[in-house]
DNA sequence: CCTGCCATGTAAATAGTTACATGATTTG
DNA sequence: CAAATCATGTAACTATTTACATGGCAGG
């Protein structure tokens, strides 16, 4: 159950509205935990009801911007959550399932040969997407974590830890690209 | 929507009952797409209703083993699905969210220091789990994919493709371990 | 004032998790 | 035959996704 805590973290870094949070979930923290705006609005309402965050406006405001900030109770909840032992989520990649499905289709049969050709293209396409993400991360690393970086969020979070998170993204994307390069020849001929 | 197709793939590799499938989802195909036995039984019922698989027994049998096999329509569905373009699922790792939450807690404060100590331990623990998974994959690679491997499933799936899937697991786990080794010093002192 | 966009929200469907129930089979 | 285990299943809940709805605001 990380979504409420991802939101609390993002609001602790900087207060903002639901739409602004949705934007942050399209980059930054959203690289490691995704959420749609529907999830975010629902979760914001829950968090406010639990007294972990507060919004400036009191009544329901449809269409009007509504800013939230973390309350002390929210920071306590975040501290409580971070120290819980949590096991890693296993890998879940549909492309690997597909590859395994293709493995049971006989090469030489029409569907098997078609599937192999398509998978080769898909693998190349995914390689491109992962390489793009890798470049993006490397760009962020260069911009945000060079010595004496400029504008910081109000709470001046620990840059070394934020960078470590980014490094995880870099290393995973790099691993994916490497795997694709190793695997593509298997689908040739 | 990969679960029905993961099940079809597994049944294409070898027919079996719900419980046997659940076991396979605890290893093998389940390394890349997880499912509980409840999901599996529900999905098997749906797949049979759609005419993609068949079970030996006709009526509902609570407690008695119930074997399923893929029908031609199921193989067609699998072929149809594998050639659909599908974007990769983004990374989703709660530990990275936690690390980012810790980054907003001031070092020097009591909760911040406690959280850093706990995260150091958690990172070491996760490193151990990923290393364990890595060893497991490397063991499978040695057992199943050495030249002239022995017993094969009836459909003799393409071993090179199955191995490619396994290699993905190996490279991801290795990347995780490498990242942990790089990151642990950041949480020292 | 109308059009497009921004921001917030509702509703419904699907997927996944957790807790529990029950019949069959094996084993001491 | 009693207990443990295996196998199938139900129910309730939570999370996530997809589609849609509606109010406010800014610019032409």
The model's pLDDT over A83-140, given as tens digits with 9 standing for 90+, comes to 999 999 999 999 999 999 999 999 889 989 999 999 999 999 999 999 999 999 999 9
Contact A98 B91 (CB under 8 A): no
pLDDT band at B42 (very low <50, low <70, confident <90, very high): very high
| pLDDT score of B7 more than 70 | yes
Least confident of B29-38, B51-60, B74-83: B51-60
Q: What is the pLDDT of residue B101?
A: 96
User: Is B147 within 7 A of strand C by CB distance?
Assistant: no
Q: How far is CA B27 from CA A39, A133, B140, B166, in A?
A: 32, 30, 11, 11
Selecting from A30, A96, A167 the residue whose C-beta is nearest the C-beta of B183 gives A167
Spatial separation of the C-alpha atoms in residues A8 and A52, rounded to whole Å: 8
Shortest Cα distance, chain B CAs vs residue A123, angstroms = 10
Chain B residues in contact with A108 (beta carbon < 8 A) = none
Full-model pTM: 0.92
**What's the whole-number average pLDDT of chain B?**
92
Tokens 């017993």, residue? B151
Tokens 């040969």, residue? A113
Average pLDDT, integer, range A10-21? 95
Percentage with pLDDT > 90 across chain B: 82
Spatial separation of the C-alpha atoms in residues A82 and A86, rounded to whole Å: 9
User: Is A24 within 7 A of strand C by CB distance?
Assistant: no
pLDDT band at A36 (very low <50, low <70, confident <90, very high): very high
Selecting from A103, A126, A161 the residue whose C-beta is nearest the C-beta of B102 gives A161
Chain B residues in contact with A33 (beta carbon < 8 A) = 92-94, 96-97
User: Is A91 within 7 A of strand C by CB distance?
Assistant: no
Q: What is the pLDDT of residue A148?
A: 62
Shortest Cα distance, chain A CAs vs residue B4, angstroms = 11
User: Is A37 within 7 A of strand C by CB distance?
Assistant: yes
**What's the whole-number average pLDDT of chain A?**
91
Instruction: Say if CB B158 and CB A102 are below 8 A apart.
Output: yes
Contact A99 B5 (CB under 8 A): no
Chain A residues in contact with B14 (beta carbon < 8 A) = none
Percentage with pLDDT > 70 across chain B: 93
SS (H, E, C) A52-102: CEEECCCCCCCCCCCEEEECHHHHHHHHHHHCCCCCCCCCCCHHHHHHHHH
Q: What is the pLDDT of residue B32?
A: 95
Shortest Cα distance, chain A CAs vs residue B62, angstroms = 30
User: Is A60 within 7 A of strand C by CB distance?
Assistant: yes
């Amino acid at each position: 159950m990380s979504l409420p805590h991802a939101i609390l973290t993002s609001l602790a870094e900087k207060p903002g509205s639901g739409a602004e949070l949705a934007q942050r979930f399209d980059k930054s923290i959203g690289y490691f935990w995704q959420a749609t705006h529907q999830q975010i609005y629902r979760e914001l309402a829950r968090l406010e009801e639990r007294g972990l965050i507060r919004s400036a406006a009191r009544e329901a405001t449809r269409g009007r911007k509504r800013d939230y900030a973390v309350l002390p109770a929210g920071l306590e909840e975040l501290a409580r959550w971070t120290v819980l032992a949590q096991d890693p989520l296993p890998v879940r990649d549909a492309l690997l399932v597909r590859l395994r499905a293709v493995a049971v289709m006989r090469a030489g049969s029409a569907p098997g040969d078609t599937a192999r050709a398509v998978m080769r293209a898909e693998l190349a396409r995914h390689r491109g997407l992962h390489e793009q993400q890798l470049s993006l991360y490397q760009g962020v690393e260069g911009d945000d974590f060079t010595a004496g970086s400029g504008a910081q969020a109000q709470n001046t979070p620990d840059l070394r830890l934020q960078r470590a998170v980014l490094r995880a993204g870099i290393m995973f994307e790099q691993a994916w690209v490497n795997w694709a390069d190793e695997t593509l020849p298997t689908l040739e001929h």
